[in-house]
Amino acid sequence: MAKVSNREKILTAGLQVVHERGFGGASVRDIVQAAGVPQGSFTNHFVSKEAFGLEILDLYFQQSLALFAETLRNDTRPPLERLGAFLDANVERVSGEGACNGCMIGNFAAEASDSGTIRPRLAEIFGEVRDAISSCLKAAVVAGDVRGDLDCDDIAAFLVTALQGANLLAKVERSAEPMKRVKRITLDKLLR
């Protein structure tokens, strides 16, 4: 079994600490303490807390990319089924412990959008989410599952906004209902 590097320990523990406490609420001391490494290890591996933030954002977003592959971009399933599976996964995520922590990407957007390095990466991430949803919607148009004049890019942008809002409300209400509402309205009203 390979020994886990201090850098990996900091990233793994740091992602959890930041997700629980927020980027601003998680100090470097909190992160290294959770990782069980000396404080100097942080500065040995990351030039700044923002650089660390970018890395954990990407680490967290890898989970989203895997979800896109299983759902939105899974061409073996019908498009609306893929969209439904994606929305179900979001409901599931906020149904448990995730309801308390929300979406780390959305949390970063609320906290660190004034950062000259983090804000552009957040915009790219939200763009990737939008593109994955849009491609699924375009496949639904081609399949004849939704009306042909659907503005897929606009609906996808709207869904990213609705999902982020639902994440925030789920966090406040400690309930998956806001996310369930997004799914219900999207599939039963918006796309019908």
Look-up: residue for tokens 């957007």? 109
Confidence of residue 100 (pLDDT cuts 50, 70, 90): confident
95 and 175 share one domain: yes
| Average pLDDT value for residue range 158-184 | 94
In a domain, 72, yes or no: yes
Does the structure show a pLDDT above 90 at 83? yes
In a domain, 38, yes or no: yes
DSSP symbol at 20: H
40 and 115 share one domain: no
- Position 144 scores a pLDDT of 97
- Position 99 scores a pLDDT of 61
Please give the model's pTM, rounded to 2 decimal places.
0.91
| Average pLDDT value for residue range 51-69 | 96
Does the structure show a pLDDT above 60 at 118? yes
Query: Domain total for the chain?
Result: 2
Percent of the chain with pLDDT over 90: 82
66 and 148 share one domain: yes
| Structural domain boundaries, residue 114 | 60-190
88 and 180 share one domain: yes
Single out the residue of 136, 145, 135, 115 nearest to residue 53, CA to CA: 115
In a domain, 14, yes or no: yes
Confidence of residue 101 (pLDDT cuts 50, 70, 90): confident
33 and 80 share one domain: no
**For residues 120 and 35, is the Cβ–Cβ distance under 8 A?**
no
In a domain, 54, yes or no: no
104 and 161 share one domain: yes
> In angstroms, rounded to a whole number, what is the distance separating the alpha carbons of residues 94 and 24?
22
81 and 19 share one domain: no
Does the structure show a pLDDT above 90 at 115? no
Lowest model confidence (mean pLDDT) among 61-70, 91-100, 134-143, 146-155: 91-100
